[in-house]
Structure 1
Amino acid sequence: MKRKFEIFGLCISWFAVVSQFILMIQNRQADIFETVVRFFSFFTILTNTIVALFFTAKVLKKKQFLLKLLVKDGTITAITAFILIVGLVYQLVLRSIWEPTGLQFLIDELLHTFIPLYMLGYWFFHVKKSDLSPKMVFIWLMYPLIYIVFIMVRGSFSNYYPYPFLNVSEIGFEKAILNTGVIIAISIILLLALLFTGKMTLKVRKE
């Protein structure tokens, strides 16, 4: 049953990411290279890709460095927290300013709603004690920090920001930094909540 869960996670996450890539290429407003860079400038895309790679590592059980890294202790908890951030930011901030239709609507729901909930469900049923080490989990905070630095530096040269709440050109540097601080704070809260919930879940399982 667990393997079927992982195979479905692999298929649905790669389907969503690849489909979104095709849609963005078809509707591009810049050359191919710039469009590809912009595609991977979205935290949504990067995090869903990490989810897809995580399930790929689980299904294939390969020992390559990247796939091996994604199944290390604590990784599943960190990935779950960040994909939940993707879902929360979309539902609370972006949904009201974005009204996709057709296939784009389906892909958006997969990337921002279904996959975050699916990952949370997988984590809930398969989290282990070794996945709840605060040290291993919080190392992953480097991921959103590096992402934010990249977006800010690149945006200062290209004037392209993937999200309105990071758009320094429109809202100013101070407001953008404040928004990123809020997101990092929410990430920490989610990580702590998952660590606490995970420990309670394991305790119930033993009982």
Structure 2
Amino acid sequence: MSNEMVLTQSTGGIAVKIAALLGWFALALQLYLILASRWQGDKSLLGGVDIFFSYFTVLTNILVAVVLTCAATSGDSAVRRFFLKPTVQGGVAAAIVLVGLAYNLLLRNTWNPQGLQWVADELLHDVMPVLFVIYWWFCVPKGTLQWRDLWPWLLYPLAYFIYALVRGYFVGSYPYPFIEVDKLGYPQVFINALMVLVAFVVISLVLIAVDRWRGQH
């Protein structure tokens, strides 16, 4: 193995470690901001944890951070093998791309975060999606994905949608404006969810097509 190749692999490994740390930092910052806001408002901190885990953005960024951590570390475990499967990493890539696109196209203009909240927002919705796509492009083996991989990937956003509706029914609060049943009603919410799901399908098919193309070159 040439010195240049060793240097390239070493640099790549450092970059993945930095990306993993950045992912966990963004999540920790967002959790801190939610809990600090709850504390200042004399509200339940446990409720703040519930709010934190109610966001598709947060759950998906956790998956991203876990995958990057597995890639940045060594050792052999069932969990690490699972998250480093190209099919699993492809599904996570599709989900985090959806996070970035949905936020920038649908949600960015609905509020104006400042200070540390702006930092957390940019990291979770812009920086981490870009970093993970770069990681997926350069570090994940290509040519193994099949068109049928789309179906298990769909389970994640579907499960989240069901969870968000059930949680919202009991607590009276929804994490995103386009699924606010109390304001929009179930028919419109289902239409909105279907549109987001279609976007996820398109993103997934593009990723699979790119994977298959790169696997042939």
TM interval, short-chain normalised? over 0.9
Q: CA deviation at 1:130?
A: 5.3
Residue 82 of structure 2 aligns with an amino acid whose one-letter code is: L
TM-score (norm 2): 0.88
1:197 aligns with 2:207: no
Larger Rg: 2
Corresponding position of 2:159 = 146
| Structure 1 runs of 4+ with >4 Å offset | none
Aligned to 1:132, the other structure's residue is in SS state coil
8 A contact 1:73–1:130 mirrored in 2: no
Aligned to 2:86, the other structure's residue is in SS state coil
Corresponding position of 2:22 = 12
Q: 1:62 to 1:142 in 2, by over 3 A?
A: farther
TM-score (norm 1): 0.92
Aligned-residue Cα RMSD (Å) equals 1.6
Residue 158 of structure 1 aligns with an amino acid whose one-letter code is: V
Corresponding position of 1:67 = 80
Residue pairs, 1:87-98, within 5 angstroms:
87-98=100-111
Q: CA deviation at 1:137?
A: 4.7
Q: Distance in 2 between matches of 1:72 and 1:21?
A: 29
Q: CA deviation at 1:75?
A: 1.2
Residue pairs, 1:69-88, within 5 angstroms:
69-88=82-101
Residue pairs, 1:1-207, within 5 angstroms:
1-28=11-38, 30-129=43-142, 131-203=144-216, 206=217
Q: Distance in 1 between matches of 2:78 and 2:159?
A: 20
Identity %: 32
Residue 59 of structure 1 aligns with an amino acid whose one-letter code is: A
8 A contact 2:96–2:129 mirrored in 1: yes
Q: Distance in 1 between matches of 2:75 and 2:144?
A: 19
Q: 1:49 to 1:131 in 2, by over 3 A?
A: farther
Q: Distance in 2 between matches of 1:9 and 1:141?
A: 26
Residue deviations 1:27-67, cap 9 Å, x none?
A: 12541111101110000000001100111111223444443
Residue 94 of structure 1 aligns with an amino acid whose one-letter code is: L
Residue 18 of structure 2 aligns with an amino acid whose one-letter code is: F
